Amino acid sequence: MENTHGLASVAANISSLAAQARAALGPPLSASEQSLLEQEITALLSEQNAVLVAHYYVNSELQDLAEATGGYVADSLEMARLGLEHPASTVVVAGVRFMGETAKILSPEKRILLVESSAECSLDLNCPPEDFSAFCDQQPKRTVVVYANTSAAVKARADWVVTSSIALELIRDLTTQGEKLIWAPDKYLGDYIQKQTGADMLLWHASCIVHEEFKGEVLVNLKTQYPDAAVLVHPESPPSVIALADVVGSTGQLIQAAQDLEATLFIVATEEGILHKMRQSAPGKRFLEAPTAGAGATCESCAHCPWMKMNDLSRLAQALRHGTGEVLLDESVRAQAAIPIQRMLAYGRKHSGAR
Ligand code: 13P
Ligand code: SF4
């Protein structure tokens, strides 16, 4: 059973929000403008006892600035952990809204600022809390597992929250314990987990507008052209792409694979912002972007997440100057959503395989 109720109208809305995000991108900065902004941001972070935590998909200058100022670049699981554990009183999140919300859920006493508060995620948009709650109500005996790419209200309805770095291992364990599951929102990640674990899962029917553009039939040609290349795939990609992977994993796991594998050439099927960290951490190796074009391509995103790309130095400076983009949550929703996220973090601490 899959949920497809009402998703056509949501999909139209997502396209228009993605187009708005693309249109809102600022003009490129000159080298001197960039340097002045970096100096100002560095001073503001220090004055405000703030730390910058960036996702691997944001622009390289934000990734570099996070590290240069004592902050971090990480996958979504590590971002959640770092925001919680870091002693700073303000955490500035360069990523998308659900990442800022997760930080606030875990650290209600801290001020959490989003570089851009309208940075959405198509998975989150495609899982409205009321519809999802009604779906769960129809299957009260099932354990509800949701992906981190969801709103605080959806997390509050869940028994477990997972990220892609931990999902497979946890669901294998839950299945061994005989649990039947509801999974939301990513249908491709759900399908992948189901195939790998044999889990009894009812799938919500959403997708990532970036990863769903990768095309297995065109990737086959690229593999033929570069037979020695290893293929690294994020599990939000369609099954035809996952089937061609040498490694399937979260952003952090794919970066680790680029370092660990003997291959010196890689084809990468995930958002292109990750290539910056791959090149830094595996110098001397070469990385090709997996194809998003081909038969049936709409190229809605072409491996660029329009919302991740809204994060830039000008918006970051603005957030620190004026305290814009502060994440505020209803306390009862926050407290309820903290339970399944804490459960995930505790599970991750016990299982070394889950980075
Ligand atoms: P990771 O959990 O792998 O960092 O992925 C987050 C995400 O949004 C992927 O599109
Ligand atoms: Fe969401 Fe996809 Fe962007 Fe990740 S890449 S934040 S899943 S829209």
* Position 298 pLDDT exceeds 80: no
Residue having the nearest C-alpha atom to atom 6 of ligand 1: 76
Q: Residue 54 Cα, ligand 2 centroid: separation in angstroms?
A: 14
- Spell out the residues 6+ positions from residue 258 whose beta carbon is closer than 8 angstroms to its own: 232, 266, 278, 281, 282, 285, 287
3-state helix, strand, coil in the chain (%, to 5): 50, 15, 35
Provide the CB-side half-sphere exposure for 339 (13 A, CA). Answer: 13
Contact 241, 216 (CB under 8 A): yes
Looking at residue 119, the DSSP 8-state letter turns out to be: -
pLDDT tops 50 at residue 203:
yes
Q: What is the mean pLDDT of residues 222-238?
A: 96
Residue 13 confidence (pLDDT) = 87
Q: Atom 3, ligand 1: which residue's CA is nearest?
A: 250
pLDDT at 3: 59
Q: Is the pLDDT score of 9 beyond 70? A: no
Q: Whose CA is nearest to atom 3 of ligand 2?
A: 305
Q: Which ligand 1 atom is the nearest neighbour of the CA of 250?
A: 3
| d(CA 116, ligand 2 centre) in Å | 15
Q: Which atom of ligand 2 is nearest to the CA of 270?
A: 5
Q: How confident is the model at residue 152 (pLDDT cuts 50, 70, 90)?
A: very high
Q: What is the pLDDT of residue 8?
A: 57
Q: 74: pLDDT confidence band, cut at 50, 70 and 90?
A: very high
pLDDT on residue 27? 86
What is the Cα 1 distance to its own chain's centre? 26
Which residues surround ligand 2 with Cβ inside 6 Å?
Answer: 96, 121-123, 149, 208-210, 236, 271, 305, 307-308
Task: Write down the pLDDT at residue 4.
Answer: 56
Residue 353 has pLDDT above 70, yes or no: no
For position 302, what pLDDT does the model report? 73
The confidence band for 258, taking pLDDT boundaries of 50, 70 and 90, is very high
Q: What percent of the chain has pLDDT over 90?
A: 85
For the CA of 56, the nearest atom of ligand 1: 4
Which of these ranges, 28-42, 138-152, 182-196, 284-298, has the smallest mean pLDDT? 284-298
CA of 7 to the centre of ligand 2 (A): 17
Which ligand 1 atom is at minimum distance from the Cα of 251? 3
- What average pLDDT does the segment 21-43 reach? 94
305, 310, 311, best to mutate for ligand 2 pocket (most atoms within 8 Å of CB): 305
- Mean pLDDT on 307-335: 97
Is the CB of 233 inside a 6 Å radius of any atom of ligand 1? no
Statement: residue 50 has pLDDT above 90? yes
Residue 103 has pLDDT above 90, yes or no: yes
Q: How far apart are the first and last CA of the chain?
A: 31
Query: How many Cβ atoms sit within 10 Å of the Cβ of residue 89?
Result: 13
Q: Is the CB of 75 under 6 A from ligand 1?
A: yes
Closest ligand to the CA of 126: 2
Assess whether the previous peptide bond of 185 is cis (omega < 30° from 0): yes
Q: Has residue 315 got a pLDDT over 50?
A: yes
Per-residue pLDDT band for 354 (boundaries 50, 70, 90) equals: very low
Q: What's the pLDDT score for residue 294?
A: 65
Residue 348 has pLDDT above 50, yes or no: yes
Mean pLDDT of the chain: 93
Cα 255 to Cα 12, 54, 110, 153, distances in angstroms? 33, 15, 30, 31
Q: What average pLDDT score do residues 163-176 get?
A: 95
Pairwise CA distance, residues 281 & 261, whole Å: 13
**pLDDT of 5 above 80:** no
Residue 350: predicted pLDDT: 87
What's the pLDDT tens digit per position in 112-130?
A: 999 999 999 999 999 999 9
Determine if ligand 1 sits within 6 Å of the CB of residue 253: no
The answer, yes or no, to whether any atom of ligand 1 lies below 6 A from the CB of 255, is no
- Among residues 247, 236, 259, 242, the alpha carbon closest in space to that of 305 is found at 236
pLDDT computed for residue 80 by the predictor: 87
Band of residue 2 on the pLDDT scale cut at 50, 70, 90: low
Residue 296 has pLDDT above 60, yes or no: no
Q: Residues 218, 23: contact at Cβ < 8 Å?
A: no
